[in-house]
Structure 1
Amino acid sequence: MSTRPEAVVDSAVDARAGRWAATGFAVLHVLLFVPVVLTFVLVTVSAVLVVVWLGVILLAGVLPAMRGLVGIHRWIASRLLGAPLPAPYRPLPGGLLRDLNTRATDPLTWREILWMLWAMTFGFAVSLLALVLLLGVVTWPIWWYGVGPLMRARAVVDRAILTIGRTERLEQRVQALTESRAVVVDHSAAELRRIERDLHDGPQARLAAVSLSLGLADDLFETDPDAARRLINEARTTSSSALGELRDVVRGIHPPVLADRGLGGAVAALAIDMPVPVDLDLELPERLPAPVESAVYFTVAESLANTAKHAGAGQVAIRLHHADGLLRGEVRDDGRGGANPRSGTGLQGIAARLAAFDGTMSVSSPVGGPTVVSWEVPCASSSPKTTPS
């Protein structure tokens, strides 16, 4: 069943705030005028005082408060326009100074400072005019017909300043894809080198030993049958070891349990091998796209491996939920914390795997715990094809 364009337009219009709601938002704008002015003054003074370190401390508190205040106005504008206004802030790396540097250099922070100048002057005048039109007996009819367009006009300016445009979003997307592609290419090359090294040092060496033992046994069959038999037994043992190492290499490329049982079953198998209790919360479709399943499987495996080696945890929880075309996952442990994803290659590697599918990963690990590795990957469910009997 298709949807008529007229119906889409009508629903968008209905989602916008009515005249009374628009007037209420105008009142809220006026009430927030003083906090906006104070925040602007504090940001300006803090920036000036950065040279004496006092400004650093002030900015560390003022910038988050500014984001919260601007977030209220961003919500008001979204209600007036009947559409969400995203806030594409740069992700915070963690740590007081690093977070402060990220906020200070974020282009959206500078947009918010520019927006406060607008909100303290023309924006405030627009909201105040909406209230004046309501209170005037002669201007009341103008308010009745004009408050909605007037407040939406202010919301359009708010949206233009507080969000990035389509061109900027595309530029950010291209930049992110370029960076993730470079990381994925490097990671893939490293994986190929690892596989080559594993095959050369393990199965290849053992198979060469098997060939040598069988050749010697062939030479000894006539003169020393017992020695030939011992060499054959050694070759059998060596071939079994080579087969096991080959299985380990294959499992590192694409685990058989993942192909047989899907992501949920493969994660459950990982949980069984953990030395501590694992709480599973899995809400998954029958199957997901195979590349996504593989990336998420290795994400869980790497997170559990880090927990077992470094966390000293007594309990682990794994959560995987798929809804609305988005797979959300989380591995949480109650260990000692203090994990740093930049200190090793494991978490960086799985972040690169997820980035290849437009996925994101974050790590929260304060000293003392808990450690939480969470991720989101856009993907649709994929059920295996069935053939009629």
Structure 2
Amino acid sequence: MNGVGRGGSERWGVSGRPDTGLSGWQARGVDAAADRIGDVTENPPRPRVPLLRRLADDSVFVLSGWSLGLAGFVVVVTGVSLAAGLLVVWVGVPALAGALLTARGLAHVQRAQLRHRLHREAPTPRYLRPAPAAGRVRRALTPLRDPQSWFDLAWALLAFVTGTVAVVVAVSWAALALGGLTYWFWQRWLPESDGSLVELLGWGSGRQAESLLNLGIGVVAVLLLPGVLRLCAGLHGGVADVLLCSRARLQGDVQRVVDSREAARDAEAASLRRLERDLHDGPQQGMVRLAVDISRARRQLDVDPARAGEILDEALVRARSTTQELRALSRGIAPPLLVDRGLAAAVGELLQRSPIPTTSTLGIPEDLPPHVETAVYFAVAEALTNVAKHSAASRTALEITTRDGHLVATVTDDGIGGAHIAKGSGLAGLQQRLAGLEGALTVSSPAGGPTVLAASVPLPGGTGA
């Protein structure tokens, strides 16, 4: 891999030779990995809904939203007014808490409508719960200290406004469409009058001209009806989504950060324990044996110089072996080639050391952060090690590319399959390491193969092709 510095976009063939393309099994594996990584790195797309069902869903959502808004407005206004009037005798406090709980119940129904009718993700926030040892008074007053309860109250007030606007516009537009399409039938019962719309437009006169004009208006209204209903449902649903679901998404983001930090701490602790164990079982024992050999040689130096020389030769061999073990351990912390020349060169060295013939496509951007380079390097190293040890594969393919703001490394082999992320395995530790960086690890390994391992790490600022 001489001449490969930081970053790079090269194709490498078996044992580091240039490659001309991916074979069929490799391409299928890479495509499957791309689909799985897309599910992890992107928000899943909303399902495509047939036009008639969407029309029905929007209509039901608008009507049910207005009904919920009306019920919420009545309950909230009544509860708040009652609480304000009785606040001086403290009876108003439970009344206000009751209004908040009622608004919470209506908010749950509205979130269900968002999921089933508008096909949106509508997460439910975590409401403040009283402590197990809290008394009755504290339990009754808990809704007053919960921010989301007040968001629910605000939604109950605004939902009546947005629901009324949405239902008036939707019903008026539907009436316009129905009236225009059927005008030819019921116009016979209308009295004749001068100055009709068709005459004002200069398009003729008489009932036939009026029928044609209204028929055209009705057809246009019918064609635009799905869009108008979608707009009305979006208006009402957008307000509900902001007030009822935004805090839940924020809570989810915070929880993911907390989980990633815990995963990073666990991965670091596991790495330190493994390093301590490896040092104790390997180089430390070698150094102890080396000290013993040197002490023996010193005692034999005057008595039997030849034997002392043999002992020193053995000690020299042991010192070199210990040095190799220390180098191997340091490579597990941060390979010098990765630090000095970047991810492309370090991955190239892994490919050259791999006992399985490997083709690779490296599309690595410039100036990657050290934590991204380290995570992807160890993901590739662990994947190639598993292939060599367990897969019985004859060929391996590696692809590193940017996708949807992530750096994605995909390793595909034609082995026997059966790989899985099991607790205590190297893949489980790798998954934990990636989770600490808000990354993801996916493994697809059906019996008989092929096995596809895909590791993704988010890039700073979400850059990437």
* TM-score, L = length of structure 1: 0.61
Report if the CA contact (8 A) 1:262-1:286 is conserved: no
1:231 aligns with one of 289, 311, 314: 311
| Range with greater deviation from structure 2 (257-266 or 135-144) | 135-144
For residue 322 of structure 2, the aligned residue among 242, 252, 256 is 242
1:291 aligned to 2:371? yes
Change (3 A) 1:130 1:35: closer
Instruction: Give the equivalent residue in structure 2 for 1:7.
Output: none
Q: Please say if 1:275 is aligned against 2:330.
A: no
1:30 aligned to 2:52? Answer: yes
Cα distance in 1 for partners of 2:379, 2:440 equals: 12
Q: Is 1:30–1:127's contact at 8 Å kept on the other side of the alignment? A: no
Query: Structure 1 residues 156 and 273, CA, compared in 2 at 3 Å: closer, same or farther?
Result: farther
CA drift of 1:290 comes to 1.0
SS in 2 for 1:295: helix
Greater RCO structure (CA 8 Å; 6+ sep): 2
Cα distance in 2 for partners of 1:336, 1:263 equals: 29
List per-residue Cα deviations over 1:57-94 (Å, max 9, x = no partner): xxxxxxxxxxxxx89965xxxxxxxxxx7799xxxxxx
- Over 3 Å counting, the alpha-carbon distance change for 1:126 and 1:337 in structure 2 is farther
Q: Which of these two proteins has the greater Rg computed from alpha carbons?
A: 2
Contact 1:130 1:151 in 2 (8 A): no
Q: Deviations over 1:111-151 (max 9, x none)?
A: xxxxxxxxxxxx9998787566457356949969x976653
Deviation string, structure 1 residues 246-300 (Cα, Å, up to 9, x no partner): 1111111112221233112222222222232212111112331111111111111
Q: Is the 8 A contact 1:263 1:287 kept in 2?
A: no
* Structure 2 counterparts to residues 54-133 of structure 1, below 5 A: 130=173, 133=176
The equivalent of 2:45 in structure 1 is none
Q: Residue type matched to 1:29 in 2?
A: L
Partner of residue 198, structure 1:
278
Q: Distance in 2 between matches of 1:198 and 1:261?
A: 27
Give the secondary-structure state (helix, strand or coil) at the position aligned to 1:222: helix
Counterpart-to-counterpart distance in 2, 1:332 and 1:293: 20
Match in the other structure for 2:98: none
> Does residue 263 of structure 1 match 2:343?
yes
> Could you tell me which residue of structure 2 aligns to residue 360 of structure 1?
440
In structure 1, stretches of 5+ residues that fail to align are 1-26, 37-69, 75-84, 89-122, 382-389
Instruction: Describe the shift of the 1:370–1:156 C-alpha distance in structure 2 as closer, same or farther (beyond 3 A).
Output: farther
1:196-222, CA deviations, whole angstroms, 9 ceiling, x for partnerless residues? 111122111211222222223223322
CA distance in structure 2 between the partners assigned to 1:308 and 1:167 by the alignment? 47
Note closer, same or farther for the CA distance 1:314–1:130 as it changes in structure 2 (3 Å cut).
farther
For structure 2, list consecutive stretches of 5 or more residues without a partner in the other structure. 1-48, 59-114, 124-165, 181-212
What amino acid sits opposite 2:387 in the alignment? T
Alignment match of 1:219 (pick from 283, 286, 299): 299
* Cα distance per residue 1:165-223 (max 9 Å; x no partner): 33112222222233333333222222111111111221112112222222232233223
- Report the Cα distance in structure 2 between the residues aligned to 1:313 and 1:132, rounded to whole angstroms: 68
Counterpart of 1:51? none
Q: Distance in 2 between matches of 1:318 and 1:71?
A: 41
8 Å CA contact retained: 2:344, 2:362: yes
Q: Deviations over 1:280-338 (max 9, x none)?
A: 11111233111111111111111122222222222211111125642122111222222
One-letter identity of the residue aligned with 1:328? V
Relative to structure 1, is the Cα distance of residues 290 and 154 closer, same or farther in structure 2, using a 3 angstrom cutoff? Answer: same
| Paired letter, 2:305 | P
Alignment partner, residue 350 of structure 1: 430
User: Partners of 1:308 and 1:276 in 2: how far apart?
Assistant: 7
Residues 307, 128 of structure 1: CA spacing in aligned structure 2 closer, same or farther, 3 A cutoff? farther
1:213, 1:235 within 8 Å by CA — same for their partners in 2? yes
Residues matched between the structures, number:
279
Aligned to 1:154: 233
Q: Percent identity?
A: 38
When the two chains are superposed, the root-mean-square deviation of aligned CA atoms in Å is 3.9
Is 2:397 the partner of 1:317? yes
